């Protein structure tokens, strides 16, 4: 049996791990690379393996850096099943169509310029038509049910507690090559205990091999319990200044958690009741609808709240969603204080760019960063405190107050990662993926301090025999 990481190896995006066993090729995740534009584009364009040679895909969750290249895989010839949870399947409908739409618009924009210069046209990596094709290959499976996905291979999905529908992937394998029974656990993105709406990560207690993310292998998050106070302070400060608070947020997960938190603050009269919250992302509106259809995946508190108040679960009812570009642009002319939540989460594309362009230079305004920002993204530059940033190729002064709250993080921090790993019995080897080098190296050290010494940090395309 062989394992090769073709993405999220030595970095955090493009999650793709290929398992070759019993003559079959099983791909864990098929995520899109993000970050430096040219580099990411090349990596997303061509797979380092033949898509036709893949037999089965298992998808851990719906975030684009785990699912975003599935339509490309299908476009280039993959015609097998894509196993994932029901919620992830439903989220992918919207997430992948949105990704295709963004690419189509970008190609259109670039081609207008190319036409004038007489240069060859570009194509999106996939279109909405390609997404429809790929969606036909999805198979939803329930949590905690073992499914045969290949000869001698069973998969079970358990809650990862990262976003709704997210799973850790447990594989039970009868390896024909050596007659051994082997188990592999793939963390996908591992969540944290106590996150709003979500169940806690399910602890798998035994595995031979563990492929784990280590996004925050060297970081400790703020306690989730302080979040209400911090958000209230930031919101009230911005309102007093008469400014707008811009919150870049992934459409899936973070947007709903922020809204859930604001909802509680409104209920306790801790922020002004008439403060408009605009969710400027049609995708977020659609994704929120999917939440309502997956109550069984909520934690107990959220489930009870939902069942009590189905008209307005989590305060979703008081939000104003913008559905078209005109509405979105009108927000720029409005002078009243408001909260604008918009995507993309790392400020790489989408409407958030317009809001940042229009609001960053005014010290009255605030930006609230609540999510992970990968290297080289605009969001990361704001986190690093850069005083001038480029948006749509033009420089903009950063005078708005930049606030960072990492307590919302949907990723396990170092202590969560460690706690999860040490509870797995029988580990023969651990693979650290989905982390920048510094995070992976540091986490490797802390694993060693806790007696887990057989740890690899795979490089892209590096193959291991298990
Ligand atoms: Zn994720």
* DSSP symbols for 149-205: EETTEEEEEEE-SSSTT-EEEEEEEEETTTTEEEEEEE-SS---TT-SSBPPPP---
pLDDT at 311: 65
Average pLDDT value for residue range 76-82 = 97
Q: How far is CA 453 from CA 421, 422, 426, 431, 464, in A?
A: 12, 11, 13, 11, 17
Interatomic CA distance for residues 192 and 223, integer angstroms: 11
Ligand 1 centroid – CA 190 distance (Å): 8
SS3 content of the chain, % helix, strand, coil (to 5): 35, 20, 40
* DSSP symbols for 319-348: -EE--SHHHHHHHHH--S-EEEEES-TTSS
pLDDT at 109: 87
pLDDT at 409: 83
Which residues does residue 175 pair with via DSSP β-bridges, in sequence order?
180
pLDDT at 263: 86
Average pLDDT value for residue range 130-149 = 97
Ligand 1 centroid – CA 286 distance (Å): 18
Ligand 1 centroid – CA 395 distance (Å): 30
Ligand 1 centroid – CA 121 distance (Å): 33
Are residues 365 and 389 located together in one domain of the fold? Answer: yes
The domain containing residue 379 runs over which residues?
224-404
Weakest mean pLDDT among 5-19, 162-176, 324-338, 432-446 = 324-338
Longest dimension (CA), the chain: 70
Ligand 1 centroid – CA 143 distance (Å): 18
Ligand 1 centroid – CA 236 distance (Å): 30
Distance from the Cα of residue 240 to its chain's centroid: 33
Weakest mean pLDDT among 67-81, 83-97, 287-301 = 287-301
Which of 220-229, 317-326, 402-411 has the highest mean predicted lDDT (pLDDT)? 402-411
Here the tokens at position 313 are: 């679960």
Here the tokens at position 204 are: 């798998």
With cut-offs at 50, 70 and 90, classify the pLDDT of residue 313: low
Average pLDDT over the chain, rounded to an integer: 92
Here the tokens at position 32 are: 């899109």
Ligand 1 centroid – CA 356 distance (Å): 24
Interatomic CA distance for residues 69 and 66, integer angstroms: 8
Of 60 and 308, more confident: 60
Are residues 44 and 171 located together in one domain of the fold? Answer: yes
Ligand 1 centroid – CA 220 distance (Å): 18
Which residues does residue 247 pair with via DSSP β-bridges, in sequence order?
341
Whether residue 448 has pLDDT greater than 90: yes
Ligand 1 centroid – CA 113 distance (Å): 34
pTM of the entire structure? 0.88
Contact (CB, 8 A) for 447 and 455: yes
Nearest to 355 by CA among 377, 379, 332: 332
Ligand 1 centroid – CA 334 distance (Å): 34
Are residues 186 and 87 located together in one domain of the fold? Answer: yes
Whether residue 60 has pLDDT greater than 80: yes
Are residues 144 and 251 located together in one domain of the fold? Answer: no
Ligand 1 centroid – CA 122 distance (Å): 29
Ligand 1 centroid – CA 63 distance (Å): 5
Ligand 1 centroid – CA 270 distance (Å): 31
Q: How far is CA 94 from CA 101, 129, 162, 195, 286, in A?
A: 10, 13, 18, 23, 7
Buried b (16+ CB within 10 A) or exposed e, 133-158: ebbebbbebebeeeeebbebbbbbbb
Instruction: Give me the CATH number covering residue 194.
Output: 3.60.15.10
Ligand 1 centroid – CA 255 distance (Å): 14
| Strand arrangement of the beta sheet that strand 24-28 belongs to | 138-140, 82-84, 56-58, 24-28, 16-21, 2-7, 463-465
Ligand 1 centroid – CA 18 distance (Å): 19
Here the tokens at position 175 are: 């390896």
Instruction: Give me the CATH number covering residue 248.
Output: 3.40.50.10890
Ligand 1 centroid – CA 79 distance (Å): 25
Interatomic CA distance for residues 412 and 375, integer angstroms: 19
Are residues 260 and 324 located together in one domain of the fold? Answer: yes
Are residues 49 and 93 located together in one domain of the fold? Answer: yes
Are residues 291 and 146 located together in one domain of the fold? Answer: no
Contact (CB, 8 A) for 276 and 320: yes
pLDDT at 312: 67
Are residues 158 and 243 located together in one domain of the fold? Answer: no
pLDDT at 194: 87
Which of 172-181, 187-196, 389-398 has the highest mean predicted lDDT (pLDDT)? 172-181
Average pLDDT value for residue range 9-31 = 95
Ligand 1 centroid – CA 176 distance (Å): 33
Nearest to 177 by CA among 49, 20, 25: 20
Ligand 1 centroid – CA 15 distance (Å): 10
Ligand 1 centroid – CA 64 distance (Å): 8
Ligand 1 centroid – CA 252 distance (Å): 9
> 103-112 pLDDT, tens per residue?
999 899 889 9
Contacts of 348 (CB under 8 A, 6+ apart): 34, 377, 378, 379
Ligand 1 centroid – CA 42 distance (Å): 22
Interatomic CA distance for residues 31 and 16, integer angstroms: 6
SS3 117: helix
> 199-226 pLDDT, tens per residue?
999 999 999 999 999 999 988 887 777 8
Ligand 1 centroid – CA 335 distance (Å): 35
What stretches of 155-297 show up as alpha helix (H) in DSSP? 227-241, 254-267, 282-292
With cut-offs at 50, 70 and 90, classify the pLDDT of residue 327: confident
Of 257 and 319, more confident: 257
Contact (CB, 8 A) for 33 and 15: no
Weakest mean pLDDT among 38-42, 185-189, 195-199 = 38-42
Ligand 1 centroid – CA 244 distance (Å): 28
Are residues 347 and 327 located together in one domain of the fold? Answer: yes
With cut-offs at 50, 70 and 90, classify the pLDDT of residue 136: very high
Ligand 1 centroid – CA 89 distance (Å): 15
Are residues 183 and 329 located together in one domain of the fold? Answer: no
pLDDT at 129: 97
Whether residue 284 has pLDDT greater than 90: no
Domain edge (last residue) among 378, 404, 430: 404
Q: Quote the number of domains for the chain.
A: 2
Interatomic CA distance for residues 284 and 424, integer angstroms: 36
Of 398 and 286, more confident: 398
Contact (CB, 8 A) for 197 and 179: no
> 230-277 pLDDT, tens per residue?
999 999 999 999 999 999 998 888 888 898 889 889 888 999 988 999
Domain edge (last residue) among 369, 385, 404: 404
Are residues 422 and 312 located together in one domain of the fold? Answer: no
Ligand 1 centroid – CA 58 distance (Å): 15
Ligand 1 centroid – CA 139 distance (Å): 20
Domain edge (last residue) among 404, 437, 452: 404
Ligand 1 centroid – CA 295 distance (Å): 20
Are residues 39 and 140 located together in one domain of the fold? Answer: yes
Ligand 1 centroid – CA 349 distance (Å): 18
Average pLDDT value for residue range 313-335 = 77
pLDDT at 314: 67
Ligand 1 centroid – CA 61 distance (Å): 7
Ligand 1 centroid – CA 191 distance (Å): 9
Weakest mean pLDDT among 27-31, 38-42, 323-327 = 323-327
């Amino acid at each position: 049996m062989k394992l090769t990481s073709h993405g999220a190896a030595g970095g955090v995006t493009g999650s793709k791990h290929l398992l070759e066993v019993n003559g079959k090729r099983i791909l864990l995740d098929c995520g899109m690379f993000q970050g430096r534009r040219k580099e990411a584009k090349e990596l997303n364009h061509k797979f380092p393996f033949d898509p036709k040679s893949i037999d089965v895909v298992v998808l851990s969750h719906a975030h684009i850096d785990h699912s975003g290249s599935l339509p490309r895989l299908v476009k280039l010839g993959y015609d097998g099943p894509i196993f994932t949870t029901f919620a992830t399947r439903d989220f992918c409908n919207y997430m992948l169509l949105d990704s295709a739409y963004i690419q189509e618009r970008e190609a259109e924009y670039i081609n207008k310029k190319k036409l004038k210069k007489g240069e060859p046209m570009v194509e999106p990596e996939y279109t909405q038509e390609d997404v429809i094709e790929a969606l036909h290959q999805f198979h939803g499976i329930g949590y905690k049910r073992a499914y045969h996905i290949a000869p001698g291979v069973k998969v079970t999905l358990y809650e990862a507690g990262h976003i709704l529908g997210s799973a850790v992937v447990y594989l039970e394998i009868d390896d024909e090559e050596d007659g051994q029974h082997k188990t592999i656990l793939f963390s996908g993105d591992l969540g944290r205990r106590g996150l709003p709406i979500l169940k806690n990560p399910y602890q798998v207690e035994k595995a031979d091999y563990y492929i784990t993310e280590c996004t925050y292998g060297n970081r400790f998050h703020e306690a989730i319990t302080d979040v209400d106070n911090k958000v209230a302070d930031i919101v009230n400060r911005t309102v007093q200044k008469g400014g707008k608070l811009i919150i870049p947020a992934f459409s899936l997960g973070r947007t709903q958690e922020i809204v859930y938190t604001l909802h509680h603050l409104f209920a306790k009269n801790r922020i002004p009741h008439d403060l408009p919250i605009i969710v400027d992302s049609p995708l977020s509106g659609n994704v929120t609808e999917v939440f309502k259809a997956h109550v069984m995946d909520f934690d107990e508190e959220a489930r009870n709240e939902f069942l009590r108040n189905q008209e307005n679960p989590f305060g979703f009812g008081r939000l104003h969603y913008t559905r078209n570009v005109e509405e979105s642009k009108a927000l720029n002319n409005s002078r009243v204080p408001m909260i604008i939540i918009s995507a993309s989460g790392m400020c790489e594309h989408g409407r958030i760019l317009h809001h940042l362009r229009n609001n960053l230079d005014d010290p009255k305004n605030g930006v609230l960063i609540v999510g992970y920002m990968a290297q080289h993204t605009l969001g990361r530059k704001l986190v690093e405190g850069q005083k001038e940033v480029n948006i749509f190729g033009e420089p903009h002064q950063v005078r708005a107050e930049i606030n960072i709250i990492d307590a919302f993080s949907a990723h396990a921090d170092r202590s969560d990662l460690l706690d999860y790993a040490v509870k797995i019995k029988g580990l023969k080897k651990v693979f650290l993926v989905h982390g920048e080098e510094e995070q992976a190296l540091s986490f490797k050290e802390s694993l060693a301090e806790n007696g887990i010494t057989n740890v690899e940090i795979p490089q892209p395309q590096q193959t291991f025999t298990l």
